[in-house]
Amino acid sequence: MFVDDDWVSVGSTNFDNRSFRLNDEANLNVLDPHLAQEQARAFEADKQRAREIHFEDWKRRPWREKAIEWIAAQFRGQL
């Protein structure tokens, strides 16, 4: 998260009750314009490499990917 081009927060915490109450998650918060700019550039570079996935494409994904997702879903309550 970037705030006012001066502050950056990087970590695993999500804004939900599970992250705040149950999970052992943390963020690093830094007030540093140079670090914030560097992180913003990295984020923009990631966006340039990203691609849009349409629902129809997602439904046609390989069976191996579907199998891995199914197996991982069996552990959903533990993750």
**Cβ neighbours of residue 36 closer than 8 Å, sequence gap 6 or more:** 2, 5, 6, 7, 8, 30
Q: What share of the chain is helix, strand, coil (3-state, %, to 5)?
A: 55, 15, 30
pTM: 0.60
Residue type, 39: Q
Domain ranges of the chain: 2-78
pLDDT on residue 14: 81
pLDDT digits (tens, 9 = 90+) for 67-76: 999 999 998 7
